[in-house]
Amino acid sequence: AQSVTQPDIHITVSEGASLELRCNYSYGATPYLFWYVQSPGQGLQLLLKYFSGDTLVQGIKGFEAEFKRSQSSFNLRKPSVHWSDAAEYFCAVAPFSNDYKLSFGAGTTVTVRA
């Protein structure tokens, strides 16, 4: 069955520390890959996306993600978190053949402590 897994429900990091959020997918072929962020009371904002090419993708707000085909993973990283990065983060995929339908993981809540 096709699925998107975010193994970490909640992560707490100190301000200034690095952050890595994990995402694994199970699809027949490499899908389109996305990371979204959702702050309380707001809609989803696209951080970055991967369709093809360079496996290290740069996004907004200082985030980057690395696609690893062998591990079916698309992990999100940020070298130094800011208090404003506290939010919920969702990994999403769209099958290559049905590129209009986003399938989301369950999300990872990030708490930033001072």
Partner 1 sequence: DAGVTQSPTHLIKTRGQQVTLRCSPISGHKSVSWYQQVLGQGPQFIFQYYEKEERGRGNFPDRFSARQFPNYSSELNVNALLLGDSALYLCASSLGTALSGEQYFGPGTRLTVT
| Binding positions for partner 1, rule: CB under 8 A | 4, 32, 36, 41-46, 49, 51, 90, 92, 94, 98-107
Residue (80 or 111) nearer to partner 1, CB? 111
Nearest-angstrom CA–CA distance, 85 and 82: 5
How far does CA 25 lie from the centroid of its chain?
11
Residue (92 or 112) nearer to partner 1, CB? 92
Residue (81 or 105) nearer to partner 1, CB? 105
- Based on its alpha-carbon atoms, the radius of gyration of the chain, rounded to whole angstroms, reads 14
Both tokens of residue 82? 């800011």
| Residues 83 and 19: beta-carbon distance below 8 Å | no
